[in-house]
Amino acid sequence: MLPDAGPDDPTVTAMRARELGRKSVVVGDRVSLVGDTSGAPGALARIVRIAERRSVLRRTAEDDATTAEGRLERVVVANADQLVIVSALADPPPRTGFIDRCLVAAYDADIEPLLCLTKADLAGPEAVLGYYTELELPYVLIRPDSDLAALRALLAGRVSVLVGHSGVGKSTLVNRLVPEADRAVGTVSAIGRGRHTSTSAVALRLPLAPRGDLEPPEAHSDPGWIIDTPGVRSFGLAHVSAESLLHGFPDLVEGTVDCPANCQHTAEEADCALDAWVAAGKADPRRLASYRRLLASRSGEGDPREPERNPGDPLAGS
């Protein structure tokens, strides 16, 4: 879609020009077009240049860690300002390990995180929010009848990308935010097993909010963009250095100042200061355990089948 196009302007169809070589275009990319950009039926433009990316959200596909392809690093979206981590409060149950991984990816890519807890009509948010008390993590609660004004205010003026397990309600939310979007919505077939209804990422322009509806003035001039993505089973972080993993745990960072030089912060480090930090009540022990699980999963010691599950989560022991 052209940057200055109005909501009713046609969408331009374009293909990659040969001169781009192997560079791939991902959702969120700003591109230069030549050729027929009228958007008329049958018109085809060419993408000749990809603008420098402001941010790049990546994940390593760990869906199949046994093959070389399974370790491939994928760019999820380019130029996102905000990572909306969508987690259902039930059906499927929340996984704080998954949310922790998304937080690492967000801080690593310099994208602001927003926790979006859906299906608040089915379960309360206390357990999940309790786990993140030390974090000043912004969050919104969504139920089928909830007013979306607060969320719209947080989306205004920026590009936000939704990530989450299959079946948590990403497309349902997009359809509420952008009624014309008509994103397919699926059913959750069994606990924790969504059907991966959405199969590709799509960027949509949010509609202008009615005047007087929202505080920030940008909501009236620039309501922002929302990117719906297909559900993922896990958020692989093999591309993030062990050092950068800590950035996803701002509640632990200060605790590492007393660590010996070159401390790896693993459970095996006898003098790691994080144990004392947690023992002194400065951070939640479950957060330290989650951080160490991530460290271990990087060195291949973690359980690749359920990398995003923390013992404190509902059904964690099952």
Ligand X SMILES: Nc1nc2c(ncn2[C@@H]2O[C@H](COP(=O)(O)OP(=O)(O)OP(=O)(O)O)[C@@H](O)[C@H]2O)c(=O)[nH]1
66 binds, among Mg ion, ligand X, none (CB under 5 to 8 A by kind): none
Among 79, 82, 166, 310, binds ligand X (CB under 6 A): 166
309 binds, among ligand X, Mg ion, none (CB under 5 to 8 A by kind): none
Q: How far is the CB of 73 from Mg ion (least distance, A)?
A: 23
Among 158, 170, 265, 293, binds ligand X (CB under 6 A): 170
Is residue 142 involved in binding ligand X (CB under 6 A)? Answer: yes
The pairing of strands 45-50 and 14-16 is parallel
Q: How far is the CB of 39 from ligand X (least distance, A)?
A: 27
Give me 230's structure tokens: 């297909």
Separation of alpha carbons 249 and 8, rounded Å = 43
The stretch near ligand X (CB under 6 A) out of 76-84, 133-141, 164-172, 272-280 is 164-172
Is residue 197 involved in binding Mg ion (CB under 5 A)? Answer: yes
122 binds, among Mg ion, ligand X, none (CB under 5 to 8 A by kind): ligand X
Separation of alpha carbons 303 and 97, rounded Å = 12
Rounded to the nearest angstrom, the gap between the alpha carbon of residue 269 and the centroid of all alpha carbons in its chain is 31
Separation of alpha carbons 39 and 1, rounded Å = 9
Separation of alpha carbons 94 and 127, rounded Å = 10
Q: How far is the CB of 198 from ligand X (least distance, A)?
A: 3
Is residue 12 involved in binding ligand X (CB under 6 A)? Answer: no
Place of tokens 């922002």: 224
172 binds, among ligand X, Mg ion, none (CB under 5 to 8 A by kind): ligand X
Give me 69's structure tokens: 């392809």
Separation of alpha carbons 308 and 294, rounded Å = 9
Is-contact 191 92, C-beta < 8 A? Answer: yes
Is residue 171 involved in binding Mg ion (CB under 5 A)? Answer: yes
Of all residues in the shown chain, the one whose CB is closest to ligand X is: 231
- Say what the alpha-carbon torsion angle 134, 84, 88, 232 is, to the nearest 10 degrees: -120
Is residue 118 involved in binding ligand X (CB under 6 A)? Answer: yes
Place of tokens 């491939």: 72
Is residue 188 involved in binding ligand X (CB under 6 A)? Answer: yes
The stretch near ligand X (CB under 6 A) out of 50-58, 151-159, 188-196, 280-288 is 188-196
Alpha helices in 36-187 (DSSP H): 96-109, 126-131, 149-155, 170-177
Q: How far is the CB of 87 from ligand X (least distance, A)?
A: 10
Place of tokens 């109005």: 6
The stretch near ligand X (CB under 6 A) out of 101-109, 194-202, 205-213, 284-292 is 194-202
Cα separations (Å) of 269 from 136, 256, 275, 302? Answer: 29, 12, 10, 17
Is residue 121 involved in binding ligand X (CB under 6 A)? Answer: yes
Q: How far is the CB of 195 from ligand X (least distance, A)?
A: 6
Q: Which is nearer to Mg ion, 164 or 224 (CB)?
A: 164
Separation of alpha carbons 285 and 11, rounded Å = 50
Give residues in contact with Mg ion (CB under 5 A).
170-171, 197-198
Give residues in contact with ligand X (CB under 6 A).
118-119, 121-122, 142-144, 164, 166-172, 185-188, 194-198, 230-231
